Structure 1
Amino acid sequence: MEDDRSLRGLLRDELERLGHRIVTAQGETEARAALDEHQPALVVSDLRLPDGDGIQLLEHVRGATGGREIGFIVITGFGTIEQAVDALEKDADDFLTKPLDLDHLGLSVGRVLENIQLRRRLSGYEALHGRESFHGMVGQSAPMQQLYRSIERIATTDSPVLIHGESGTGKELVAAAVHAESARAGKPFIAVNCAGVPAELLESEFFGHVRGAFTGADSARRGLLQAADTGTLFLDEIGEMPMPLQAKLLRVLEDGSLRPVGADTEFQVDVRIVAATNRDLTQRVADGDFREDLFYRIDTFTVTVPPLRQRGTDIDRLAVGFLTAAARRQGREPPALTPEARAELAAHDWPGNVRELANAMERALAFANGQQIEAVDLPGRIGRAPDAPTLTRGHEERSFATLAEVEASHIRQVLDAVGGNRSRAADILGIGRRTLYRKLDDSE
């Protein structure tokens, strides 16, 4: 079991370095006890455990919480990837393959935790304002009502869907709503981040492989497309899919046929493809990084998720809802937003959209002094930071951001542009990953 101990130690060290609090367990029995004692936000489990398996642990977590209140990531080797696909069907949030890629680990953990937090916040808000919600999305503004109508119309067809939207707008929620409103509801809905799977494993992950197809392929296994048969496969960040895989995906879209790696025969699948991107795919096509024929195939129906800055009074409603839900989770009375705070929220550009607003409200709740949220309680990037220096020339007073605020804003813009991939952001910024993590921590 030395490998198991080494893996636990690697995970613990890397996740602690990223700022997470970690509790380790040696098997399913210890993990269940730890779940009762610590109530973690996320479980990362190998599929093969000394006294059970990760699927049993996943089923216990989902049954004990009655839903998806706790995130769950499974770890698998080549020989057990089919079980990992089964785990996704049973509501695991993601899976990692051995040998572990630490960049992928950090990206996956961060994404799952953000999704869990956003689900909790939206769930709490929905309980208060259920009539304003639609499959987990919240909003009464005209752009959101139009989005709901578009989803309902598109769901009646069986064609591919391409979802456009900035980071943090909730593209996966839209994909899940399309599935839930369609005739495929109740069938598999599998979500995969195309940027989160190592390039060398992508073909096997999507199409599966036969035994002996390559070194380490000790048994045959089905891929994500077969696992999603009769259901929906959601491809997030499809713009990051390598060109060779794009050609194979196009074949599936055209006639439903796929060939596992190393196989002599083809299989037929019935899968609806819903894809999402925050990139300009037309520019990717022009640059030669995305197939034109695939673009026109997945662009049959297009849904654009409105950025938060275009949603008017939804900002105020969501802010109040997030504050109320967060306060109730802490067993306290929700504070009120002052007119000045509401004005700052309405004027902010919201580059991080709903996710940024949810984080801002939790931060404001922590810093609030009394039963009101003042403008000074909001993060410094929203409006002018309370201690931002001012200069006066004649009768004109101007405020200036500090150098640290400018740097933090630039880092956030780069992260948004690369979809949250910290390694790529660090390369663009010309700094190391550790320096980037430290700067992000300092800006919180």
Structure 2
Amino acid sequence: MRDQPILLVEDDPIMGESLLQRLQLEHCRCQWVRDLGQARAALHERLYPLVLSDIRLPDGDGESLLAAMMQRYGGCCPPVVFMTGYGSIAQAVRLVREGAWDYIQKPFDVDVLMQRIGEWLPLCGASPDAWFGVSPASRALEQLIARVAALDLPILIHGESGTGKEIVAQHIHARMCQDRIGKGVPPLVAINCAAISEGLLESELFGHE
């Protein structure tokens, strides 16, 4: 977990201070905010590998935060783990379906939470090597993605079925989100064009008068 930035959203001062100190002992760079507005402002400034949030907040709830993050970041939405003392199984299932990474019931063992964060973070912040490998062709693709993501132009990716076009699209979008924090990058929306009839494809994608 060393040097990993984490956004902690917790309005309870005792719980917040306790988690902040423990995360710092684990060498995480933790930013603690106390309400929904502060969380949105922090996420407007940068992407975090992990967001650890209470569900009940003074000016809203964690579900509203998750919905706003999914709308803004789309395919590169930071993983969100929720904590609550008032939850239910139905709520947990709903949050995970809506995109939450995990759901933790209070009170919890902080040692167990730290262990789980240590398991989550490598998955959240995997290095480019984990995705692209180290071959010359993989490195060339990684460099191409970085160049393409800097362009404010439509991008067409073509290739045989199964060669990873959607993964490349996801990484281009993720790179755009990282490079353009605060500039309102639209969400990544995947559409199965094969499921849309030829006569309706154009109007479905671009609208009609």
State the TM-score bracket (shorter-chain normalisation): 0.5 to 0.7
Question: Residue 41 of structure 1 corresponds to which residue in structure 2?
Answer: 49
SS of alignment partner, residue 30 of structure 2: coil
In structure 1, distance between residues paired with 2:138 and 2:55? 35
Q: How many residues align?
A: 137
- Supply the AA of the counterpart residue of 2:94: D
SS of alignment partner, residue 104 of structure 2: strand
- What do you get for the CA RMSD once the two structures are aligned? 3.0
1:116 shift after superposition: 1.7
Q: Does 1:77 align with 2:85?
A: yes
SS of alignment partner, residue 95 of structure 1: strand
Higher relative contact order (CA 8 A, sep 6+): 2
- Supply the AA of the counterpart residue of 1:53: D
- Output the TM-score relative to the length of structure 1: 0.28
- Supply the AA of the counterpart residue of 2:134: A
Question: Residue 66 of structure 1 corresponds to which residue in structure 2?
Answer: 74
1:124 shift after superposition: 5.9
Q: Tell me if structure 1 keeps the 8 A contact 2:11–2:57.
A: no
Structure with higher Rg: it is 1
Q: Does 1:15 align with 2:62?
A: no
Gaps of 5+ in 1: 126-317, 332-444
Q: Tell me if structure 2 keeps the 8 A contact 1:93–1:112.
A: no
Question: Residue 319 of structure 1 corresponds to which residue in structure 2?
Answer: 134
Alignment of 1:320-335 (within 5 A): 320=135
Deviations 1:319-351 (A, max 9, x none): 2377567778988xxxxxxxxxxxxxxxxxxxx
Q: Tell me if structure 2 keeps the 8 A contact 1:73–1:95.
A: yes
Q: Does 1:88 align with 2:96?
A: yes
SS of alignment partner, residue 83 of structure 2: strand
* Percentage of matched positions with identical amino acids: 31
Alignment of 1:36-435 (within 5 A): 36-118=44-126, 121=128, 125=132, 318-320=133-135
1:44 shift after superposition: 0.5
Q: Tell me if structure 2 keeps the 8 A contact 1:71–1:113.
A: no
Q: 1:26 to 1:89 in 2, by over 3 A?
A: same
Deviations 1:297-335 (A, max 9, x none): xxxxxxxxxxxxxxxxxxxxx22377567778988xxxx
SS of alignment partner, residue 45 of structure 1: strand
Q: Tell me if structure 1 keeps the 8 A contact 2:87–2:105.
A: no
Q: 1:322 to 1:60 in 2, by over 3 A?
A: farther
In structure 2, distance between residues paired with 1:330 and 1:100? 41
1:61 shift after superposition: 1.4
In structure 2, distance between residues paired with 1:41 and 1:3? 21
Q: Tell me if structure 2 keeps the 8 A contact 1:8–1:24.
A: yes
Question: Residue 203 of structure 2 corresponds to which residue in structure 1?
Answer: none
